[in-house]
């Protein structure tokens, strides 16, 4: 072994010994900076605004080749794919509307039911008190407002990380920055995640904006008390408070559900650029002027025997060009004059339409839902049902979360929430089915849920109407149940009309005077 090897070895040992000191110095420095930034004297709304935007805004643009490379290896490109999804939502309106379409299908209408109480228990004050606690907690959570927002973000990015906070008798789901969260385990409550405490070392981040336990996590991180437990920067959060709402729970990796449309979305932008180029070419013209040659045989067949002097031709060409509008070019040559335009350039006129067609064919969603003129009633209905089935499983994920939290709230008696498979497209059909079932003695809570009423609203509205004694001061509206059968004629109208039937209605072919 050479002397230099010993010197290098000693140098490495010295650096390894100094590393903890350097790390502690860096942490102390960052701690002091963070403390100063958290002071109200140093408060800067611009910092706070940037920090809030960084929680879920980090769009990034990539070319087609890079997009294909990212998709081919999603395991190693989770953040890049997430950022690309955000960019496409901002830039490609078709992608944006599809995300919002899937994210808004579910209505999150619900009902709650007891699971460990018999008929006698349900008459007790203790049971009613527990039921009221559950209703109050759900009202504070407001699933009909909070869950559609989460669903939309899951459609866009696949996984979203939240922390349950109880603030001023209100339950809220605080969104955590995805870039500082990592899925580390799977429990009966779904996936569990760890949080990178370096997030709180950033300028302007106020730890008081997060749950109180994060202050202790932060102190442990600064003091290094958890060094022997694993990665000192990461804290594995309690799954009973830290929830991962994930669209695809079959894989721990975060892969945007619409990742298969990324290339088609990028192509729409490319087709737009092609259409712009094609449109520009169609308005361009080139005028070719001929410089005549001498045709007098006395001069013989001389080469380049032009009849107009070069400077004269140049002046006239310049004069012509100065009077031409933009998009017209004058070129002077010793050839025959002709006009060239590009209005008949080869290619389809609806270039962007090609990209849109590929996009919607890949998505499996009918473009009629987004303004396509061609309609097919049966095809649209089938497409909507496919879209509904694509997102209905999210109901089960939210049920798991809510039912776990209800066990902490209700006390002795247990309750569970159910989100019936009601969507914005099948509401009427579900309501009709539940009303018909209620007429045969089935529970009326499903009718209330299909009307969009929460359990609290159902009870409050019913009690309120009874207190107003509306039955005695209002006459019932005329309906099929209150009218006589004298005026009834013809077959009842059907809601499941075929395409031909819809055309007949639209054209009025079944009206008197229209028949042939």
- For residue range 286-309, list pLDDT tens digits in order: 666 666 766 665 555 566 666 677
As a whole number of angstroms, the distance between CA 491 and CA 515 comes to: 19
- Domain membership of residue 134 (yes or no) is yes
Q: Which of 185, 171, 182, 105 is nearest to 138 (CA)?
A: 171
As a whole number of angstroms, the distance between CA 239 and CA 163 comes to: 9
- Domain membership of residue 350 (yes or no) is yes
- Domain membership of residue 513 (yes or no) is no
pLDDT value of position 257:
96
- Domain membership of residue 117 (yes or no) is yes
What are the Cα distances from residue 224, in Å, to 25, 165, 231, 326?
A: 13, 27, 10, 70
Beta strands 242-246 and 190-196 are: unpaired
The domain total for the chain is 5
DSSP code for 199: G
Mean pLDDT, rounded, for 190-209: 91
As a whole number of angstroms, the distance between CA 349 and CA 278 comes to: 9
What are the Cα distances from residue 49, in Å, to 43, 149, 417?
A: 11, 20, 37
Structure confidence by residue, pLDDT tens digits, 324-368: 666 566 666 655 555 555 555 445 556 556 666 666 766 767 666
Mark whether 83 and 124 lie in a shared domain: yes
Structure confidence by residue, pLDDT tens digits, 374-402: 666 667 888 899 999 999 999 999 999 99
- Domain membership of residue 9 (yes or no) is yes
Mark whether 442 and 360 lie in a shared domain: no
pLDDT value of position 28:
61
As a whole number of angstroms, the distance between CA 329 and CA 311 comes to: 19
pLDDT value of position 6:
46
Residue 343, φ and ψ in degrees, nearest 5? -65, -25
pLDDT value of position 388:
95
The tally of CA atoms less than 13 A away on the side-chain side of residue 225 is 6
Q: Give percent of the chain with pLDDT exceeding 90.
A: 46
- Domain membership of residue 514 (yes or no) is no
Helix (H) or strand (E) segment spanning residue 96: helix 93-103
Mark whether 115 and 179 lie in a shared domain: no
Mark whether 87 and 127 lie in a shared domain: yes
Structure confidence by residue, pLDDT tens digits, 17-38: 565 565 565 556 555 555 555 5
Mark whether 67 and 136 lie in a shared domain: yes
Could you say which of 404, 420, 436 is where a domain stops? Answer: 420
Q: Which of 26, 227, 7, 230 is nearest to 15 (CA)?
A: 7
Cβ-Cβ contacts under 8 Å for 472 (sequence gap 6 or more) = none
What are the Cα distances from residue 86, in Å, to 79, 122, 207, 412, 485?
A: 11, 49, 27, 45, 58
pLDDT category at 167 given cuts 50, 70, 90 is confident
pLDDT category at 4 given cuts 50, 70, 90 is low
Mark whether 50 and 133 lie in a shared domain: yes
Mark whether 384 and 395 lie in a shared domain: yes
Whole-number mean pLDDT of the chain? 80
- Full residue range of the structural domain in which residue 136 is found: 44-141+346-420
Structure confidence by residue, pLDDT tens digits, 423-453: 999 999 999 999 999 999 999 999 999 999 9
Mark whether 81 and 10 lie in a shared domain: no
Is 61 a residue whose pLDDT tops 60? yes
C-alpha dihedral over 355, 357, 361, 367, to 10 degrees?
A: 120
What are the Cα distances from residue 24, in Å, to 20, 180, 183?
A: 6, 21, 28
Torsion 10-12-16-19 (CA) sign: positive
Mean pLDDT, rounded, for 198-210: 88
As a whole number of angstroms, the distance between CA 410 and CA 416 comes to: 10
Mark whether 165 and 177 lie in a shared domain: yes
Mark whether 369 and 402 lie in a shared domain: yes
- Domain membership of residue 506 (yes or no) is no
- For 421-456, give the secondary structure using H, E and C: CCECCCHHHHHHHHHHHHCCCCCCHHHHHHCCCCHH
Mark whether 30 and 56 lie in a shared domain: no
pLDDT value of position 301:
58
Structure confidence by residue, pLDDT tens digits, 303-325: 666 667 777 777 767 777 676 66
Structure confidence by residue, pLDDT tens digits, 475-514: 766 665 556 555 555 565 666 666 666 666 555 555 554 4
Q: How far is CA 30 from the centre of its chain?
A: 35
Mark whether 51 and 10 lie in a shared domain: no
């Amino acid at each position: 072994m050479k002397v230099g090897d010993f010197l290098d070895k000693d140098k490495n040992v010295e650096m390894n010994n100094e590393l903890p000191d350097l790390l502690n110095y860096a942490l102390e420095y960052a701690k002091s900076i963070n403390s100063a930034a958290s002071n109200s004297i140093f408060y800067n709304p611009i910092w706070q605004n940037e920090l809030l935007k960084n929680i879920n805004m980090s769009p990034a643009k990539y070319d087609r080749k890079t997009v294909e490379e990212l998709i081919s290896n999603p395991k190693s490109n989770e953040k890049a794919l997430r950022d690309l999804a955000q960019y496409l939502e901002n830039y490609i309106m078709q992608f944006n509307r599809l995300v919002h379409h899937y994210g808004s299908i579910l209505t999150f209408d619900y009902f709650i039911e007891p699971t460990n109480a018999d008929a006698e228990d349900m008459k007790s004050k203790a049971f009613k008190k527990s039921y009221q606690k559950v209703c109050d907690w759900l009202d504070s959570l407001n699933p009909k407002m909070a869950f559609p927002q989460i669903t939309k973000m899951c459609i866009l990015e696949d996984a979203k990380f939240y922390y349950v906070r109880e603030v001023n008798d209100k339950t809220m789901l605080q969104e955590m920055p995805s870039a500082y969260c990592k899925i580390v385990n799977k429990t009966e409550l779904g996936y569990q995640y760890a949080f990178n405490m370096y997030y709180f070392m950033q300028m302007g981040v106020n730890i008081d904006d997060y749950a109180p336990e994060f202050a202790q996590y932060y102190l442990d991180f600064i003091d290094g008390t958890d060094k022997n437990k694993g990665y000192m920067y990461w804290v594995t959060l309690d799954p009973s408070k830290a929830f991962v709402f994930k669209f695809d729970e079959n894989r721990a990796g975060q892969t945007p559900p619409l990742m298969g449309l990324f290339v088609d979305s990028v192509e729409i932008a490319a087709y737009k650029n092609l259409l712009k180029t094609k449109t520009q070419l169609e308005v361009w013209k080139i005028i070719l002027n001929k410089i005549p040659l001498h045709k007098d045989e006395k001069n013989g067949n001389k080469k380049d025997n032009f009849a107009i002097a070069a400077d004269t031709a140049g002046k006239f060409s310049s004069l012509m060009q100065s009077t031409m509008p933009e998009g017209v070019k004058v070129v002077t040559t010793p050839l025959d004059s002709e006009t060239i335009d590009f209005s008949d350039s080869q290619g389809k006129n609806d270039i962007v339409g090609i990209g849109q067609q590929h996009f919607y064919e890949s998505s499996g969603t009918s473009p009629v839902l987004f303004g396509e003129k061609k309609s097919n009633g049966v095809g649209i209905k089938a497409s909507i049902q496919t879209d509904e089935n694509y997102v209905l499983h999210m109901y089960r994920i939210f049920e798991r979360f809510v039912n776990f939290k209800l066990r902490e709230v209700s006390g002795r008696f247990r309750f569970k929430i159910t989100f019936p498979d009601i969507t914005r497209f099948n509401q009427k059909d579900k309501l009709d089915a539940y009303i018909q079932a209620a007429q045969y003695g089935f529970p009326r809570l499903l009718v209330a849920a299909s009307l969009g009423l929460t359990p609290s609203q159902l009870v409050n509205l019913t009690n309120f109407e009874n207190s107003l004694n509306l039955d005695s001061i209002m006459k019932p509206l005329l309906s099929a149940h209150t009218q006589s059968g004298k005026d009834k004629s013809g077959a009842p109208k059907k809601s499941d009309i075929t395409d031909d039937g819809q055309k007949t209605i639209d054209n009025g072919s079944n009206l008197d005077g229209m028949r042939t």
